[in-house]
Every structure is written in structure tokens, then in C-alpha cells.
Amino acid sequence: MYIHEYGTVKNLLKQVEDTGLLTKVAESGLLSKTQAAGLTLSKVEPLLLLAETYPEVLVLVEASGPDVLKILPTIVDIAPGALPLLASAISISPGALQGASVLALAAAAGVVVAVPDDTVVEVAAQTLAAGALVGAGGAAAVGSVILGKILK
């Protein structure tokens, strides 16, 4: 590890301590809810096996190491506000996420069909809405697959 990276990690740990992030995680009930939902470290093992099967993913993560370190302080800043959402989201079933994904993708198609594209403003609105819905649908689909594999 380079000296610069060591300093970045040290500052990150200091930020985690200063924000009381670990205490907030404990107080949010997130860990209890993940355990109640059936998520254990042994169930994360399939993801590790997936990483072993596709080592190029690990190469990409390793190569982006310095870049990942740069965004970690932002994640630590956002994390306390996101904890209640994560605590609620862990109780959502993979099937419900898959349903939300299908609905979001169908809504994106509906926006493209329903919103006229006669003006620049309408095209911009159509693009923004469809893009947001496709993004949400994709995230829900990926989340349902990952959650489904973990909770098996």
C-alpha cells in the first residue's frame, strides 16, 4: 500500500469515528434486520465464489483501488442518512424487487409512448423520465438477483 493510500485510509477511519457511523448502524437495527431476513456471512459466500469464477472482476476492483478510496469519504457522509432506508429495504423480498423492476421498465416504455415528442421540452421530459425509470428498474432487477442469491 502506498503511503498516500495509507493516509487516505487513516483519514477515512477517523471520519467513521467522528460521525459515529458504527454506532448509528447498530442503533438503526440494520444488522438485526439483515439477520432476521436470513442474511448471514455464509450466505454471502456465493458472491465470493462468483468473484473466484470471474477473477477479472477482482482485477478491475484492484485496479480502481485508488479511485475507490477517493469516493469512500462521500459514502461515509451519506451512510448515516441511508441507514433507515437500508433497514427498511432489507425486508423487501427478491420477488417484490423483481416485480418493481418489471413495473418500472413498463412505466418507462409507457412514458415513451404516452408523452408526445413534438417539442424539445417534451423530448427532454420523456428522456429524463424514461432514463430514471430504466435506471430504477435495472437497479431493482440487479438487487433482486443479488438478494435472491444471498437469501437462498
Contact in structure between 51 and 58 (CB atoms under 8 Å): yes
**The pLDDT of residue 66:** 63
- The mean pLDDT of the chain is 78
For the segment 82-93, the average pLDDT, to the nearest whole number, is 76
Residue 91 phi, psi (nearest 5): -85, 0
Classify residue 140 by burial, with Cβ atoms within 10 Å: 0-12, 13-18, 19+.
buried
pLDDT at 132: 94
The pLDDT of 77-81, averaged and rounded, is 77
Q: What is the DSSP letter of 150?
A: H
CA-based end-to-end distance of the chain: 36
- Helices and strands, counts by H and E, the chain: 8, 0
| Percent share of the chain, pLDDT over 90 | 28
Spatial CB neighbours of 149, under 8 Å, sequence gap ≥ 6? 46, 47
pLDDT tens digits, one per residue of 31-76? 777 777 777 667 666 666 766 676 666 666 666 666 666 676 777 7
User: Are the C-beta atoms of residues 107 and 140 closer than 8 Å to each other?
Assistant: no
Q: Name the residue type at position 95.
A: G
The 3-state DSSP class for residue 54 equals coil
Query: Grid coordinates representing 140?
Result: 431493482
